C-alpha cells in the first residue's frame, strides 16, 4: 500500500476526561465542571463568579466540547442557554458535534443540531461527525444523524475516504452493515486508490471483508490501488492466509468462465436433479441387478417384502427431495414485498424500536435484501435471500434448510438412510445366498465382480448415500433436540445471544429435549418469541 495506517482522531487529553486517582474530582473551573458534569458548580462559576462558557481552555478546547464528549445533556443545555457557540471549533477545527460522535451521544447531538450546529462541519482532516462516528463504531449515532438530519453518508475526508472506509479499516461490522444497508458507495477509491475492502484486508478484518464481498457487486474484487494491488494481492502480500484463501475463492467464482457456464446451465436447479436421477438409477439397478438377476436364488416372500419396502421408501425419498427443493425454506420478505408496511425511503426510523420485530441489533440489517431480519436468520449468498432459522444451504437439494423446510429435510435424510440400509442389506443377503452357486476353483469375489457388476456399483453408491444420510440424520436429530441450527453450532462464538452472563455457551432457545422435539414435529419449527430476554447478535 502507498500509505501507513490511518490516523484516528484524538480529542483532548485523557487526564482531563477522567480522574486517574479514582478520588472525587477537583472542580476548580468551568472546564472541570463540564468534564465531570457538575451542573451545580458550573452554575456557581457562571452566575456568581462571572465565568464565561464561550471561551476555550489553555489547550483551545471549549466547555461545550467537554460536556458533549462526556454526554452531559443538562450541562450542554445550560451552556447553550448561556451563550455557548455550538459551532465553536478548536485548533483542529473540531466542534462539539465531533466530540459527541466519539461517545455516540444522540441526545447531545440532538441538542446541538437543533440549536444550529452544522452537520457538515469538517475539521482540518476533513472529518465530519459521520467520519468520527465510523472511526469509533458509534452505529446508532451514525444512523440517527443520517435519518433525522440528512447527513451525507458518502461524504469524503481530505484523503478521499468515506465513513465506510473508516468502518472497514477499524473492523466495525455493525457500522459497515448499516452503511451498506443505506447504499453507501462500496467501490469508491480514496486518494491512494484504496476501496473499503482494501482497508479491511490491510487490517486483516476477516468478518468485515466477508461482509463487504457478499454485499458488494464483486467489482471491488478486481479494483487496484495506486500500487497496483487488488484486495487478493494485498492479502497475499501481507501474509493474511485465511483472508487470501477467501478472496481467492470469491475471485475465481466471479472470473472463471467455465464456472459461470456451469452455473448458468444448472441455474437454480443446482445438484438436486443429479441426486434425483441417481436415486432413480439406483432403484432401477436394485430391481435389475439385485432382485431379478438370473444367477441369484429365487426371491423368497421375505426378501420380496423387504424389497417392496425398500422401493417404497425410495419413492417416498424422491417425493421428499422434491418437497425440500421446491418448498420455501423461510425466506424473509424483502422491502419490495412488504406491501407498504416498511417505508423504503427510511426503513430504519419507521420501525418501532420497542416492538419485538426490532431490538436494535444492527446485525439484523441485511444490506443485500434491504430488510431488518429476525434473530437467528441469515443471508444465503447462494439463494440471495435471508432465511429464518437458517440451518445451512444444501447443494444436493438446491435449496436452503430453514424454518419452513427443516422438518421435511430431516424426514428426507431419514428416509435416505432407511432406504439405503434396506437396499444394501438385501443386496448383501442376495450375494451371501448366491455363494453356493459359485463354481469350484472360482472365488466368490471374482464371480460377483464379473457376473454381477451391477451389484457392485449399487453397493458402492448405496454405501455412500447410507453414510451421508445417516450422519446427517444423527446431526439434525441432535440439533432438533437442542433447538440449535447448524449455522449456530458452527459460528456460536460469533453470536452473543449464545453466551450466558459468564461468557460460556448458553442457548436461550433450548426449552428441553421433550419440548423442542414436540414443537418441531408438530409445528415444523420452534417459536423464538418465547425467549425471555432479548438476544443481541453480533
Taking only the tens place, the pLDDT of each residue in 225-273 is 999 999 999 999 999 999 999 999 888 876 654 444 444 444 445 799 9
For residue 387, list its beta bridge partners: 331, 378
What is the chain's length?
A: 538
- Examine residue 209 and state whether it is found in any structural domain, yes or no: yes
Asked if residue 59 is part of any domain, the answer here is yes
Q: Which three cell numbers stand for residue 212?
A: 463487504
Q: Residues 148-177: what's their mean pLDDT?
A: 95
Mark whether 29 and 132 lie in a shared domain.
yes
Q: Are 53 and 63 in contact (CB under 8 A)?
A: yes
Q: Which residue has the higher pLDDT, 491 or 341?
A: 491
Residues 96 and 191 in one domain: no
pLDDT tens digits, 475-499: 999 999 999 999 999 888 877 788 8
Single residue among 88, 107, 136 that ends a domain in this structure? 136
Catalytic residue among 369, 394, 400, 513: 394
- Cα 145 to the chain's mean position, in Å? 25
pLDDT score at 117: 95
Q: How many domains does the chain divide into?
A: 2
Examine the residue annotation and report whether 380 is marked as an active-site residue of this protein.
no
Strand partners, 499: 505
Domain membership flag for residue 98: yes
* Pairwise CA distance, residues 111 & 68, whole Å: 10
Q: At 392, phi and psi to the nearest 5?
A: -170, 165
Confidence of residue 281 (pLDDT cuts 50, 70, 90): very high
Tell me the C-alpha distance between 79 and 300, whole Å: 97
Q: How confident is the model at residue 196 (pLDDT cuts 50, 70, 90)?
A: very high
What does the alpha-carbon distance between residue 527 and residue 278 come to, in Å, rounded to a whole number?
Answer: 36
Which residues, in sequence order, are bridge partners of residue 385? 380
Residue 117 lies in a domain: yes
Residue 61 domain-assigned (yes or no): yes
CA separation for the pair 234, 251 (Å, rounded)? 13
Yes or no: say if 358 and 351 are a contact pair by the CB < 8 Å rule: yes
Shared-domain flag, residues 106 and 161: no
Q: Is residue 354 over pLDDT 50? A: no
Q: Which of 108, 136, 164 marks a domain boundary?
A: 136
Confidence at 384, pLDDT banded by 50, 70, 90: confident
Q: Are residues 104 and 203 part of one domain? A: no
Round to whole Å and give the CA distance between 454 and 373.
Answer: 50
- Give the CA dihedral 139, 143, 149, 150, nearest 10 degrees: 110
Lowest mean pLDDT among 12-16, 176-180, 323-327, 388-392: 12-16
Q: Name the more confident of 293 and 108.
A: 108
CA 310 from chain centre, in angstroms, equals 41
Radius of gyration over every alpha carbon of the chain, rounded to an integer in angstroms: 32
Q: What's the mean pLDDT in 60-70? A: 95
The answer to whether residue 464 is domain-embedded is no
Q: The domain spanning residue 177 has which CATH number?
A: 1.25.40.20
Q: How far apart are the C-alpha atoms of 106 and 113, rounded to whole Å?
A: 10
In a shared domain, residues 124 and 195:
no
Is the pLDDT assigned to residue 304 strictly greater than 50? yes
* 214-219 LR contacts (CB < 8 Å, sep 24+): 214/368, 214/379, 214/381, 215/180, 215/186, 215/367, 215/368, 216/186, 216/187, 217/186, 217/187, 218/250, 218/254, 219/187
Q: Which residues contact 93 (CB under 8 A, 6 or more apart)?
A: 121, 122, 123, 124
Count of C-beta atoms within a 10 Å radius of residue 129: 34
**What is the structure's pLDDT at 531?**
55
- pLDDT (average), residues 326-340: 77
**Contacts made by residues 331-337, CB under 8 angstroms, sequence distance 24+:** 331/383, 331/385, 331/386, 331/387, 331/388, 332/366, 332/369, 332/371, 332/373, 332/374, 332/377, 332/385, 332/386, 332/387, 332/388, 333/371, 334/369, 334/370, 334/371, 334/385, 335/369, 335/370, 335/371
**169, 114: one domain:** no
Report the C-alpha dihedral over residues 54, 55, 56, 62, rounded to 10 degrees. -10
Q: Which residues contact 372 (CB under 8 A, 6 or more apart)?
A: 347, 348, 351, 357, 358, 364, 365, 366
- Per the structure, the complete domain to which residue 230 belongs is given by 153-255
Residue 215 and residue 130 share a domain: no
Q: In terms of domains, do 168 and 62 share one?
A: no
Q: How far apart are CA 390 and CA 402, in angstroms?
A: 5
Per-residue confidence (pLDDT) for residue 4, from 0 to 100: 43
Arithmetic mean of pLDDT, 417-431: 92
Residue 311 lies in a domain: no
Residue pointed to by grid coordinates 424473509: 332
Domain boundary at 195, 224, 255, which? 255
Share of the chain above pLDDT 70, in %: 82
Confidence of residue 450 (pLDDT cuts 50, 70, 90): low
| 120 and 29 assigned to the same domain | yes
Closest of 395, 160, 155, 137 to residue 266, by C-alpha:
395
* pLDDT at site 487: 92
Within-domain flag for 68: yes
Task: Output 118 or 293, whichever has higher pLDDT.
Answer: 118
Question: Longest C-alpha distance within the chain, in Å?
Answer: 119
Same domain, 166 and 212: yes
**Res 463: pLDDT:** 95
**Tell me: the pLDDT tens digits for 11-32?**
444 334 444 444 556 888 999 9
Identify whether residues 127 and 176 lie together within a single domain: no
Q: How many C-beta atoms surround the C-beta of residue 492 within 10 A?
A: 15
Calpha distance 99→456 (Å, rounded): 74
Give the span between the Cα atoms of 9 and 192, in whole angstroms. 20
Q: Are residues 131 and 212 in the same domain?
A: no
What is the pLDDT, as a whole number, of residue 403?
A: 93
Amino acid at each position: 500500500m502507498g500509505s501507513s495506517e490511518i490516523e484516528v482522531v484524538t480529542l483532548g487529553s485523557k487526564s482531563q476526561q477522567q480522574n486517574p486517582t479514582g478520588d472525587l474530582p477537583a472542580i476548580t473551573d468551568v472546564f472541570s465542571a463540564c468534564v465531570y458534569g457538575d451542573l451545580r458548580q458550573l452554575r456557581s462559576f457562571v452566575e456568581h463568579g462571572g465565568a464565561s462558557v464561550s471561551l476555550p481552555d489553555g489547550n483551545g478546547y471549549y466547555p461545550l466540547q467537554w460536556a458533549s464528549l462526556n454526554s452531559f445533556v443538562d450541562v450542554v443545555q445550560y451552556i447553550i442557554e448561556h451563550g455557548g457557540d455550538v459551532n465553536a471549533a478548536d485548533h483542529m477545527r473540531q466542534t462539539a458535534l465531533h466530540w459527541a460522535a466519539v461517545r455516540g451521544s444522540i441526545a447531545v447531538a440532538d441538542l446541538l443540531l437543533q440549536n444550529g450546529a452544522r452537520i457538515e462541519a469538517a475539521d482540518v482532516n476533513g472529518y465530519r461527525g459521520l467520519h468520527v462516528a465510523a472511526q469509533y463504531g458509534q452505529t446508532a449515532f451514525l444512523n440517527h444523524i443520517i435519518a433525522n438530519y440528512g447527513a451525507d453518508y458518502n461524504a469524503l475526508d481530505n484523503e478521499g475516504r468515506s465513513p465506510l472506509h473508516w468502518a472497514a479499516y477499524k473492523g466495525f461490522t455493525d457500522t459497515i452493515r448499516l452503511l451498506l444497508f443505506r447504499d453507501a458507495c462500496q467501490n469508491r477509491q480514496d486518494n491512494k486508490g484504496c476501496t473499503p475492502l482494501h482497508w479491511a484486508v490491510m487490517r486483516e478484518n476477516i468478518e468485515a471483508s466477508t461482509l463487504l464481498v457478499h454485499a458488494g457487486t464483486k467489482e471491488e474484487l478486481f479494483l487496484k490501488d495506486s500500487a497496483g494491488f487488488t484486495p487478493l494481492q494485498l492479502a497475499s502480500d501481507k501474509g493474511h492466509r485465511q483472508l487470501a484463501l477467501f478472496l481467492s475463492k470469491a475471485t475465481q467464482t466471479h472470473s472463471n468462465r467455465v464456472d459461470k457456464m456451469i452455473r448458468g446451465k444448472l441455474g437454480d436447479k443446482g445438484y438436486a436433479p443429479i441426486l434425483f436421477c441417481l436415486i432413480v438409477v439406483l432403484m432401477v439397478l436394485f430391481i435389475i441387478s439385485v432382485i431379478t438377476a438370473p444367477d441369484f436364488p429365487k426371491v423368497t416372500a421375505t426378501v420380496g417384502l423387504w424389497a417392496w419396502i425398500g422401493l417404497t421408501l425410495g419413492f417416498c425419498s424422491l417425493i421428499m427431495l422434491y418437497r425440500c427443493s421446491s418448498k420455501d425454506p423461510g425466506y424473509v420478505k424483502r422491502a419490495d414485498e412488504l406491501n407498504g408496511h416498511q417505508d423504503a425511503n427510511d426503513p430504519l426510523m419507521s420501525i418501532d424500536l420497542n416492538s419485538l420485530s426490532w431490538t436494535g441489533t444492527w446485525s439484523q440489517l441485511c444490506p443485500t435484501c434491504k430488510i431488518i431480519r429476525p434473530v437467528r436468520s441469515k443471508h444465503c449468498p447462494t439463494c440471495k435471500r435471508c432465511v429464518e432459522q437458517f440451518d445451512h444451504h444444501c447443494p444436493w437439494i438446491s435449496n436452503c434448510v430453514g424454518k419452513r423446510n427443516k422438518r421435511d429435510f430431516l424426514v428426507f435424510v431419514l428416509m435416505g438412510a432407511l432406504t439405503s440400509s434396506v437396499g444394501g442389506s438385501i443386496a448383501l443377503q442376495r450375494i451371501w445366498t448366491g455363494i453356493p452357486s459359485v463354481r469350484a476353483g472360482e472365488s466368490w469375489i471374482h464371480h460377483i465382480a464379473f457376473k454381477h457388476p451391477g451389484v457392485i456399483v449399487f453397493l458402492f453408491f448405496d454405501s455412500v448415500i447410507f453414510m451421508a444420510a445417516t450422519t446427517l440424520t444423527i446431526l439434525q436429530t441432535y440439533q432438533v433436540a437442542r433447538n440449535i441450527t447448524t449455522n449456530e453450532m458452527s459460528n456460536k462464538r460469533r453470536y452473543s445471544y449464545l453466551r450466558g452472563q459468564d461468557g460460556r455457551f448458553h442457548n436461550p432457545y433450548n426449552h428441553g429435549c421433550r419440548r423442542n422435539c414436540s414443537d418441531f414435529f408438530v409445528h415444523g419449527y420452534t417459536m423464538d418469541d418465547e425467549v425471555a430476554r432479548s438476544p443481541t447478535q453480533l
